[in-house]
Amino acid sequence: MNGKATPRVVIVGAGFGGLNAAQALAKASVRITVIDRKNFHTFQPLLYQVATAGLSPGEIAAPIRSILRSHKNVEVLMAEVTGFDLDRRIVETSEAGIPYDYLIVAAGASHAYFGHDDWEPYAPGLKTIEDALEIRRRVLLAFELAERQAAVSETATPLNFVVVGGGPTGVELAGTLAEIARHALAHEFRSIDPARTHILLIEGGPRVLPAYAEDLSRSAQQQLNRLGVEVRTSTIVTQIEPGAVRAGNTRLRATVVLWAAGVAASPLGKKLDAPVDRAGRVLVLPDLSVAGHPEVFVIGDLAAMEDEHGKMLPGVAPVAIQQGRFVARLIREELASEPRTSAFHYWDKGSLATIGRAAAVAEFGRIHISGFIAWLAWLFVHILFLIGFRNRLLVFIQWAWSYVTYERGARLITGSTYLPGWSGHQDPSAGSAERSSEEIHTNPPK
């Protein structure tokens, strides 16, 4: 083992998988090196709250160093991992090679545009704090630009927000945007009426939340409609351009477009000399190791693995957490000279998806819950699992306050004041050459 007395475990990525692996190994006699390109861990399930100005970044992120500070055998390095030399057992970073005895790769996933990367500037996805802040900037800016235009020229620009993708992220974004427009901003503008903002959720498949049972998908769609979101299912987006989304022959004007439709695994998966699936996830063995390299494990969103019914494990935090702990246990047992026999088994405790204020769905086996009770369950679980007690308490207080007052306290527009496609809205002939074109809303001055 690299000729050293204490074996070295290198963990790439301090997301849910990597952090849990590190914590579960902390009492073992190993030296642990956690490498992440960021100095903080992001609680991704609450990113949409940052994107919609409900929470500030610091409330859903925590420094990796401080999360792991009490574990003396853990060191944290901020570095970009660029590849691996599996024969020499080295993790390659932009600075230097880092040797390992065991390697755990937990680099997660990002959004994918199905080969249309040129859509990204017009339709940001939601994966990182930076993404969330960019979405927040665009959403808040759209209201400001519309108010300014209506105030100075008395012309109205329709405010149309289009969310592409009806999975959990698209649903929570659309629902929360509706809440902002109808409540949080309702009385703060003088020349436009934010409540008349049109929010459209487009889903390519026949129903939203396709991973949930059909009755919950139906309920989610009804709850979205009640919040004021228009849902179009079986609608494939064929083009995104500044200020517009096209679905076949239909051109939909869009002040802000948000992308919640596709996921691609970290490119590091392809650097492990192992087979990958179409999303770039590594096809791992039952013990989560890579074929031919029992000392290399892949966990979390980067790993592709079926459950005992042949269904792919979902890309959710509990899978990553359980896999991190499982691999840590395997390494501990192996170091105690126990043979490696066990296979990873995911304990599915149920799924929860939030839709908006007091709106959610929950699936616990055969028990399906919708509405306020599901939302309370969602709230409880997400606050419980927030990293760090300080954040948990702060977020809870923040939430309770905004529930009572409808306020969204983090409404800051920072950085650029450019909104892609905004000037295009002023051109009344835009889209007129289309065989079929559609304006989805007009927002006249009050």
Which residues have a catalytic role annotated? 172
> Closest separation between CB of residue 51 and ligand FAD, Å?
8
Question: Does 17 help bind ligand FAD (rule: CB under 6 A)?
Answer: yes
How many residues of this chain interact with ligand FAD, rule: CB under 6 A? 34
> Closest separation between CB of residue 44 and ligand FAD, Å?
3
Question: Does 14 help bind ligand FAD (rule: CB under 6 A)?
Answer: yes
Tell me how far apart the alpha carbons of residues 254 and 444 are, in angstroms, rounded to a whole number: 16
Return the residue of 11, 24, 25, 47 that touches ligand FAD, per CB under 6 A.
Answer: 47
Alpha carbon 126 to its chain centroid, in Å, reads 5
Tell me how far apart the alpha carbons of residues 118 and 122 are, in angstroms, rounded to a whole number: 8
- x-marked contacts with ligand FAD along 158-177 as a string, rule CB under 6 A: ----------xx--------
- Side-by-side strand order, sheet with 250-253: 239-241, 244-247, 250-253
**Shorter beta-carbon distance to ligand FAD: residue 17 or 262:** 17
**Shorter beta-carbon distance to ligand FAD: residue 376 or 430:** 376
**Shorter beta-carbon distance to ligand FAD: residue 14 or 247:** 14
368 beta partners: 363
Return all residues near 371 (Cβ < 8 A) that are at least 6 apart: 219, 223, 358, 359, 360
Return the residue of 10, 11, 22, 35 that touches ligand FAD, per CB under 6 A.
Answer: 35
Mind giving me the DSSP string for 67-100?
Answer: HTTT-TTEEEEE--EEEEETTTTEEEESS-EEE-
Return the residue of 159, 317, 361, 419 that touches ligand FAD, per CB under 6 A.
Answer: 317
CA angle 370, 375, 377 (to 5 degrees): 100
Question: Does 37 help bind ligand FAD (rule: CB under 6 A)?
Answer: yes
Tell me how far apart the alpha carbons of residues 331 and 347 are, in angstroms, rounded to a whole number: 20
Question: Does 212 help bind ligand FAD (rule: CB under 6 A)?
Answer: no
Question: Does 370 help bind ligand FAD (rule: CB under 6 A)?
Answer: no
Return all residues near 374 (Cβ < 8 A) that are at least 6 apart: 352, 360, 361, 362
Site for ligand FAD in 275-304 (CB under 6 A): 300-302
- x-marked contacts with ligand FAD along 318-347 as a string, rule CB under 6 A: x-x---------------------------
Mind giving me the DSSP string for 334-361?
Answer: HHTT-------------EEEEEETTEEE
Binding site for ligand FAD (CB under 6 A): 12-18, 35-38, 44-45, 47-48, 80-81, 106-108, 126-127, 168-169, 266, 268, 300-302, 315-318, 320
